[in-house]
Structure 1
Amino acid sequence: MPSNKPVVLHLGDPVKFNTDLYTQLQEKFTVIRPSVEERQREPFLQALRDRKWGDIAGVMKPFWGTGGEMGRWDKELIPLLPESFKVYAAAGAGFDWADVDIMAARGILYCNGASASSEAVADMALYHIISVFRNMQWSNMAARSGNAETFLHAHHNTQAEAHNPAGQTLGIVGLGNIGYTIAKKTHAAFGMKIVYYDPFPKSAEQEAAVGATRCSTLDEMLGQADCVVLAAPGQGGKKIIDREAFTKMKKGSRLVNVARGTLVDEDALVEALESRHLFAVGLDVYEKEPTPRPKLLENRYATLTCHTAGGAMETMMGFEELSMRNVMAVLSGEQPLTPVNKHMMK
């Protein structure tokens, strides 16, 4: 029998953790989970053209690894959505695979799961910050070499270039949920001085809580920081740290990227690292994943992890929950929990 309940598309794997919440979602809405075949680009676009799923009111994508088979939500896909479509709620902290400005122009809210990953990503940032200050990658590579001479060389020499993070100046690009959590942790754990660059300043109270000072330009921040951490969203392929930006950084400074690999020109990064203008780098993301530059793989001043900054069980559970709660809130006439493009909407 036809249902008069709003239709919600569930894209991706079945819900694993918040099953009671999913039951509530199914009670309030008609939930349809398209198959993997239906989620491929052309079948998905055709299904929208044919109104296969009727007047869709929203989409939930509870996992970052599945549900995105149709590719980018862009100027080709978004106009095919019915007028009834109000919200897209997805797992993940980023949103560079969706044109959220086009969605906003159509009155569609895009919600992400950044707040669910803040703790995990910030913890990974701390790992990289410690590593780039304390020469941990050199020590790690030497310990795993199985060579006594290599081990002893690192044992005797890493400390000559290592420093404690305490008292150093940390520059954060992007002081959103994740960036601010990084600031809180580094300020509390290390007593680091925090400077940041973000077009949306924090309140005076928030800045005071972490000892943060906002810089009016990126160049100003780069010139002050002993270590720069990128915690900003993707910029549509635009580089934040390019060859010129490296020249603005202090000689012997450090770079950590737990945001998006496309924010950094990796060729320029390798040059800065090899010239020793940049002392060390910590990367969880890369310009062309899953293949970091070969020269980074062999460099003992490059700490590398494989895009796992948000990889904690709590993050997965939170992504799943937020995707459902955002959809339920918006379609019930309430405010979204984690809107990305609300400020773009008329």
Structure 2
Amino acid sequence: MTENRPRIVVTRKIAEPALAVLREVGDVWFPEPDRALSPGELHTAIAGADAIVSTLHDRVDAAFADAAGPQVKVIATVAVGYDNADVAALTDRGIVFTNTPGVLTDATADLAFGLLLVVTRRLGEGERLLRARTPWSFNLGFMLGSGLQGKTLGIVGLGQIGQAVARRALAFGMDIAYSGRRRVPGEVENALQARYLPFEELLHTADVLSLHCPLTPETRHLIDATALASMKPSAFLINTTRGPVVDEAALADALADGVIAGAGLDVFEKEPEVHPRLLELDNVALAPHLGSATVETRTAMAMLAARNVAAVLTGGDPLTPVKG
């Protein structure tokens, strides 16, 4: 390590352009080969760090901050959501905490709509049938799915990503309804032709329910057995926000029993684990947390995190701070 240069720990390797930004302001360490560190390894690795670039699977709490030491100035997460972080504990210790909003909106909206198409048009089932070399022939009743035109997309949380999903749905001829902690401005409602509904009414109304709310104590298991029973038997659930917003066991029951028609999931309660009964069901489309997984988006996320670190270490203000 170069004398007097800040020590920057990157808990999982990020895009090279972002590493280059960090190397301009400090000495950078990350695990080689790239791998997830155990909590003990992670706390050892961050000891003495002046700055840390973390991921959403690192538990960034008081113990994390104390393991780093009193010299740590900034922790930048390469994610929008920060339910894994105790921001108040970091703020109490004078640590700047930042996230990466905005840059992953379109990629996540694309993935959400991709899951929607896969499950409503049974594309995953069709591909599995072909790869299994199952005999088939075209007929007018073969693997019928559900069309989208004239159907209602219910969005829980009409923020940036929710709005981006709504724009895609409009192009497919869907109607938009939403719920959330508060109504969005009238100009947003008008642009999206969206109507606000209380959550319980949205459950009854939506043909497709897409989740875009943050994970909070109030939204943990927001979609439970009761919520699923309130949905139409023909309805589909899409989750690209955080896994614990959905009670996976209840969802597996609902899918198996025909309470709802299907689901598309990119996130899970206990990642990387997936509830085993979900893996056995054909009416659920599963993806391994690919919402932001494009080269362009992951690079932009890493660059924003790196620029936040560089700004703080050089005496400036962070670009996207999270307030505790």
Is TM > 0.5 for Structure 1 vs Structure 2?
A: yes
Give how far 1:296 is off. 2.4
Partner of 2:121 in structure 1?
Answer: 134
Distance change >3 Å, CA 267–CA 15, structure 1 → 2: closer
Counterpart mapping for 1:57-68 below 5 A: 58-61=51-54, 64=55
Secondary structure in structure 2 of the residue aligned to 1:78: helix
Distance change >3 Å, CA 85–CA 196, structure 1 → 2: farther
Give how far 1:331 is off. 5.2
Partner of 1:117 in structure 2?
Answer: 104
| Conserved? CA contact 1:90–1:319, under 8 Å | no
Give me the whole-angstrom Cα distance separating, in 2, the residues matched to 1:335 and 1:205.
32
Partner of 1:152 in structure 2?
Answer: 137
Partner of 2:26 in structure 1?
Answer: 30
Give how far 1:226 is off. 0.9
Give me the whole-angstrom Cα distance separating, in 2, the residues matched to 1:318 and 1:42.
30
Query: Which of 90, 115, 119 is the equivalent residue of 2:77?
Result: 90
Secondary structure in structure 1 of the residue aligned to 2:293: coil
Query: Which of 214, 226, 243 is the equivalent residue of 2:196?
Result: 214
Give how far 1:192 is off. 1.9
Secondary structure in structure 1 of the residue aligned to 2:62: coil
Give how far 1:287 is off. 2.5
Give how far 1:139 is off. 2.4
Give how far 1:23 is off. 4.9
Quote the RMSD (CA, aligned, Å).
3.2
Query: Which of 65, 68, 74 is the equivalent residue of 1:78?
Result: 65
Partner of 1:174 in structure 2?
Answer: 157
Partner of 1:245 in structure 2?
Answer: 227
Partner of 1:293 in structure 2?
Answer: 275
Partner of 1:226 in structure 2?
Answer: 207
Give how far 1:154 is off. 8.1
Counterpart mapping for 1:316-335 below 5 A: 316-330=298-312
Give how far 1:110 is off. 2.6
Secondary structure in structure 1 of the residue aligned to 2:142: helix
Give how far 1:195 is off. 1.9
Give how far 1:138 is off. 3.0
Q: Amino acid of the residue matched to residue 310 of structure 2?
A: M
Give me the whole-angstrom Cα distance separating, in 2, the residues matched to 1:261 and 1:80.
28
- Partner deviation per Cα, 1:44-99 (whole Å, 9 max, x = no partner): 65787xx745xx3x4334xx49xx6xx42223233566666553212133323222
Partner of 2:17 in structure 1?
Answer: 18
Residue identity over aligned pairs, in percent, reads: 30
Q: TM-score, normalised by structure 1?
A: 0.78
Give how far 1:253 is off. 0.9
Secondary structure in structure 2 of the residue aligned to 1:116: coil
Partner of 2:184 in structure 1?
Answer: 202
- Partner deviation per Cα, 1:194-240 (whole Å, 9 max, x = no partner): 2222325432222322222333x422321221111122333369211
| Conserved? CA contact 2:224–2:246, under 8 Å | yes
Give how far 1:32 is off. 4.3
Give me the whole-angstrom Cα distance separating, in 2, the residues matched to 1:213 and 1:42.
48
| Conserved? CA contact 2:9–2:30, under 8 Å | yes
Distance change >3 Å, CA 207–CA 337, structure 1 → 2: farther
Q: Amino acid of the residue matched to residue 223 of structure 1?
A: H
| Conserved? CA contact 2:15–2:298, under 8 Å | no
Give how far 1:243 is off. 0.9
| Conserved? CA contact 1:142–1:154, under 8 Å | no
Give how far 1:125 is off. 0.8
Residue ranges of structure 1 left out of the alignment (5+ in a row): none
Give me the whole-angstrom Cα distance separating, in 1, the residues matched to 2:139 and 2:318.
51
Query: Which of 254, 259, 282 is the equivalent residue of 1:272?
Result: 254
Partner of 1:302 in structure 2?
Answer: 284
Give me the whole-angstrom Cα distance separating, in 2, the residues matched to 1:302 and 1:120.
21
Give me the whole-angstrom Cα distance separating, in 2, the residues matched to 1:203 and 1:127.
28
Mean CA deviation greater in 279-288 or 86-95: 86-95
- Partner deviation per Cα, 1:247-278 (whole Å, 9 max, x = no partner): 22223211011122222112211221122120
Q: Amino acid of the residue matched to residue 141 of structure 1?
A: R
Distance change >3 Å, CA 46–CA 122, structure 1 → 2: closer
Q: TM-score, normalised by structure 2?
A: 0.83
Secondary structure in structure 2 of the residue aligned to 1:182: helix
Alignment length (residue pairs)? 319
Q: Amino acid of the residue matched to residue 52 of structure 2?
A: V
